[in-house]
Structure 1
Amino acid sequence: MNHVHDVEQLRADVARMTSEPGEVTPPSPSKTMRMAWRDLVRGWGQHELWLQLGWQDIKQRYRRSTLGPLWITIATGVMSLALGLLYSMLFQIDVAVFLPHVTVGFIVWGFISGCIKDGSTVFIENEGLIKQLPSALSVHVYRLVWRQLLFLAHNMIIWALLVLIFRIHLGWNALWALPGLFLLVLNGVWVTMLFGIIATRFRDVAPLLEALVQLLFYVTPIVWTTQTLKAQGGEVEQRAMLAEINPLYHYLEIVRAPLIGHEVAAYHWWIVLACTAVGLVVTLFAMKQMRFRVPYWV
Structure 2
Amino acid sequence: MFSLALLDLRKSIASWRLWTLLGWLEVRQRYARSRVGPFWLTISMGVMIASIGMVYGTLFGMKLGDYLPFLAISLVMWTSFSQTVTDGSVAYINSGQYIRQASTPKLIYVLQVIWRNAVILAHNFVIVLVLFALFGVKSWTTLPLFIPALLIYIANALWIAMVVGLLSARFRDLPQIVQALMQVAFYITPIIYRPDSLNRFSFIVEFNPLAYLIGVVREPLIGQVPSALTWGVTIGMAVLGWIVALALTGRYLKRIPYWV
* Distance in structure 1 (CA, Å) of the matches to 2:138 and 2:66: 12
Would you say 1:223 and 2:192 are equivalent positions? Answer: yes
Gaps (5+ residues) in structure 2? none
Residue 76 (str. 1) matches residue 76 (str. 2): no
Please say if 1:155 is aligned against 2:124.
Answer: yes
Q: Distance in 1 between matches of 2:102 and 2:159?
A: 22
- CA distance in 2 between counterparts of 1:252 and 1:50 reads 26
Could you say which residue in structure 1 is the equivalent of 2:91?
122
Deviations 1:158-215 (A, max 9, x none): 0011001112233131011111111111122211111001011001111011111000
Q: What amino acid sits opposite 1:173 in the alignment?
A: T
Partner of 1:267: 229
User: What is the CA deviation profile of residues 105-126 of structure 1, one whole-angstrom value per residue up to 9, with x for unaligned ones?
Assistant: 0110011101211111010100
Partner of 2:143: 174
Q: 1:192 aligns with which of 161, 164, 174?
A: 161
Structure 1 counterpart of 2:76, from 107, 125, 131: 107
User: Percent same amino acid at aligned positions?
Assistant: 32
Larger mean CA deviation between 126-135 and 45-54 belongs to 126-135
Counterpart code for 2:46: G
Q: Residue type of the partner of 2:130?
A: L
Which residue in 2 is equivalent to 1:203?
Answer: 172
Letter in 1 for 2:56: Y
CA distance in 1, matches of 2:37, 2:182: 27
**One-letter amino acid of the structure 2 residue matched with residue 239 of structure 1:** F
1:18 aligns with: none
Q: Which residue of 2 aligns with 1:136?
A: 105
Q: 1:281 aligned to 2:250?
A: no
SS at match of 1:118: helix
CA distance in 1, matches of 2:168, 2:203: 32
Say yes or no: does 1:254 pair with 2:216: yes
Query: In structure 1, what is the Cα distance between the partners aligned to 2:178 and 2:225?
Result: 32
Q: Structure 1 residue 228: deviation in Å?
A: 3.2
Unpaired runs of 5+ residues, structure 1, are 1-31, 230-236
Aligned match of 1:28: none
- The SS at the match of 1:172 is coil
Structure of greater relative contact order (alpha carbons < 8 Å, 6+ residues apart):
2
How far off its partner does 1:66 sit? 1.3
Cα RMSD after superposing both structures:
1.1
The alignment covers a number of residue pairs equal to: 260
Question: What secondary structure, in the 3-state scheme, does the structure 2 residue paired with 1:67 have?
Answer: coil
Alignment-derived partner of residue 256 in structure 2: 294
Distance 2:100 2:58 in 1: 53
Pick from 65, 88, 94: which aligns with 1:96? 65
Q: What's 1:67 paired with? A: 36
CA distance in 1, matches of 2:160, 2:172: 17
Q: What is the CA-CA distance between 1:91 and the residue it aligns to?
A: 1.1
> SS at the partner of 1:170?
coil
Matched, 1:41 2:10: yes
